[in-house]
């Protein structure tokens, strides 16, 4: 999928510099910058997630599995030793 530079710049501007706070009871944290991700509840969030997963390569063998749930991604591999996993994922 090819995305034009103007769309990338627009999305970058939309996502950069976003802040969040956390409220626990009556206490409110100081503002922090969101370093990654998309705006929760945004209309563009699901589209950006679909673009993200579209670029994930398929596992190269049956001992490697890709698991997706909501906005979480995990790559799992089975093998007899840790060195056995290198090159499989």
pLDDT of residue 84: 63
- The reported pLDDT for the residue numbered 86 is 63
Phi first, then psi: what are they for 14, rounded to 5°?
A: -65, -35
| C-alpha–C-alpha distance, residues 30 and 13, integer Å | 23
pTM of the predicted model over 0.85: no
Would you list the domain boundaries of the chain?
A: 5-77
What's the pLDDT tens digit per position in 15-63? Answer: 888 899 999 999 999 999 988 877 778 888 888 888 877 777 777 767 7
The Cα–Cα gap between 20 and 66 comes to 31
């Amino acid at each position: 999928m090819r995305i034009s530079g103007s769309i990338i710049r627009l999305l970058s501007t939309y996502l950069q510099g976003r802040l969040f706070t956390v409220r626990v009871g009556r206490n409110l944290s100081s503002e922090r910058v969101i370093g990654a991700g998309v705006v929760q509840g945004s209309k563009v969030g699901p589209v950006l997630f679909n673009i993200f997963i579209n670029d994930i390569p398929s596992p190269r063998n049956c001992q490697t599995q890709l698991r997706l749930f909501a906005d979480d991604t995990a790559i799992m591999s089975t093998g007899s030793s840790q060195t056995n996993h290198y090159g499989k994922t």
